[in-house]
A and B are shown apart, each in its own frame.
Chain A
Amino acid sequence: MRVVFEKPEAMTDSPMHYCPGCTHGVIHRLVAEAIDSLGIREQTIGVASVGCSVFAYDYFNVDMQQAAHGRAPAVATGIKRVLPDKMVFTYQGDGDLASIGMGEIVHAAARGENITVIFVNNAIYGMTSGQMAPTTLVGQKTATSPRGRSAAETGYPIRMCELLATLDGPSYLARVSSHDTKHIIQAGRAIKKAFEMQQQNKGFAMVEVLSTCSVNWGMTPAKSMEWLAENMIPYYPLGVYKDITAEEGK
């Protein structure tokens, strides 16, 4: 018998604080596995954002900076510009990236900043106890949309991959999901690809990972996975929205 699955080296031994069934842990592991498989642990600097993943600096076994809410792409830019040979990634949620940090992410993408962005979209603010997010679906109930999100009052959820795909800067944009093993394996491949793009100096790469928040959604972890597949994927279609290496191959 030999080990075929274990905690990656790029993760620390610290138990994670996330709620039971939270897919943050899965996505952390995928990022760590990508770092291990590329052999870049000692060259990598991560940027944690504000939200549930604020403690990510405790879980990644790499140099980390903790950024103010929404500013992770700017912090990552500062790091990458003075250490261009290092690998720099941000790990951000939907409130952080698509609401308060919309300016920073759009401009980092437009500059083609050579960083890797892991965008975890679970359609709600988890850390602050379940408020409406920029990605909350129309009709979805949250603490600040108790009767369900009304498009007439609060508009429509933002599709970040599609939005950033209008820019020339990004090299790779993909939306993946974490709701079952098959999709988790696909998500892992996309995340590794997003690091490879940076390694090859292709410029800005982002992977949006659809994710759950069973506690604030008010469901069991298993039910949350079903809800994600049934409700989020139709509005947030999975796929590759930009891949300049595929275009180069044409």
Chain B
Amino acid sequence: MARMLMRGNEALAEAAIRAGCKAFFGYPITPQNEIPGYMAEHLPLRGGVFLQAESEVAAINMVYGAAGAGARVMTSSSSPGISLKQEGISYIAAGELPCVIVNVMRCGPGLGGIHPSQGDYFQAVKGGGHGDYRLIVLAPGSVQEMADLTMLAFELADKWRNPVMILADGTLGQMMEPVEFSAETKSEPVEKPWATTGAVNRKPNVINTLDIVPESLERVNHRLLAKYERIKEEEVRWQAVGVKDADLILVGYGTSARVARSAMEQARRDGLKVGLFRPISLFPFPEKQIRELAKAERQFLVVEMSGGQMVEDVRLAVDGRSPVHFTNRLGGMVPTPEEVLEKVESILEGRGN
């Protein structure tokens, strides 16, 4: 299929349909409205169901029902809406129901604004709702990755019986870039013998998250934690550019990584040894990969559109082996490559922060 120019949100939606998404439940919120718009237009014509729910809360519970019934299902929203979905996400994680949840982040807290942000990092990677659970969190850095990671998200959701979040932001959702779709995904039907499809010639299946016996619920928790450990071993994804000889490694994901990449390229032209490390999976976080890069004579600079969230995970990974610096913009402001470069120069010149 030829490359075509698409908006990030639309590329994501098209990829979901190609990945075999059979149902979409959502509620309007800026800046992700192109996703339900595209789904409403195309999904019913391609064998799926689109339904605009009465609320984010209802939408995520419709996802619970459809996922429990064995369908590939997706919802999308933006930050305040994702907060509303947290209860349902906790239930979905507890019920081990595969689904894809898209967060096209906008700035907060509260109603905040409609401009891009990365303020939901903690919410996405540390749980977000109640109880001990993890989402698999994928952070696209381009329109192409909005498509590719969405397809991957459906596969990982089924593989691990776990909700997968695409953590994008308003910039990635709205920007237009060329995108190419690989040949129609085979989307072979995954066997889901646990799904509630009607108890024909078998005992009834039950999708349930209640367990009032502590000994039993502790076993459930241990089983979930063991799954997350396996996910950490098998599903770490990242991109590293120019890190081998780097005196300073920029770390960023999504839009921040794009800005950092521009700053890195300018720094290299200026003769500065600067690299870029871009986590693609935020859970599991590429902890070992960052640790392996950490050494005394090397510094890190984390670039965020949030108030110091991923930098905590970078510091945990670096574990004191290298200085870790931080730069950010907030409130819907996007850092410029010049700002980042200036920070890089000041660090390398020993002017510190």
Which of B108-116, B153-161, B182-190, B197-205 sits within the interface? B197-205
For A57, the closest partner residue in chain B by CB is B206
Contact yes or no, A71 B57, CB < 8 A: yes
A86 close to B (CB within 8 Å): yes
For B59, the closest partner residue in chain A by CB is A74
In the complex, what distance in Å separates the CA atom of A107 from the CA atom of B51?
Answer: 12
Find residues 177-227 in chain B having any chain A CB closer than 8 Å to their own CB: 196-201, 204-210
Contact yes or no, B57 A78, CB < 8 A: no
Find residues 49-85 in chain B having any chain A CB closer than 8 Å to their own CB: 49, 51, 53-55, 57-59, 61-71, 73
Contact yes or no, A65 B68, CB < 8 A: yes
Contact yes or no, B66 A68, CB < 8 A: no
A202 close to B (CB within 8 Å): no
Known A64-B207, A66-B206, A77-B51: A71·B196 in contact at CB below 8 Å: no
Find residues 23-61 in chain A having any chain B CB closer than 8 Å to their own CB: 41-45, 47, 54-55, 57, 60-61
Residues of A bordering B, CB below 8 Å? 41-45, 47, 54-55, 57, 60-68, 71, 74-83, 86, 103-104, 106-107
B88 close to A (CB within 8 Å): yes
Known A77-B51, A82-B23: A65·B71 in contact at CB below 8 Å: no
B51, B200, B208 interface centre (most CB from chain A within 10 Å): B208
Contact yes or no, A67 B197, CB < 8 A: no
Checking A54, A55, A79 against B196 with a beta-carbon cut-off of 8 angstroms, the contacting residue is: A79
Known A71-B88, A104-B61: A45·B196 in contact at CB below 8 Å: yes
In the complex, what distance in Å separates the CA atom of A61 from the CA atom of B206?
Answer: 10
Find residues 13-29 in chain B having any chain A CB closer than 8 Å to their own CB: 22-23, 25
Known A42-B200, A77-B51, A78-B61: A63·B87 in contact at CB below 8 Å: no
Known A62-B204, A82-B49: A47·B198 in contact at CB below 8 Å: no
Given contacts A44-B198, A67-B61, 17 further A-B contacts (CB under 8 A): A41-B199, A45-B196, A45-B197, A47-B65, A63-B205, A65-B64, A65-B68, A74-B53, A74-B61, A75-B64, A76-B65, A78-B63, A82-B71, A82-B73, A86-B197, A103-B58, A107-B54
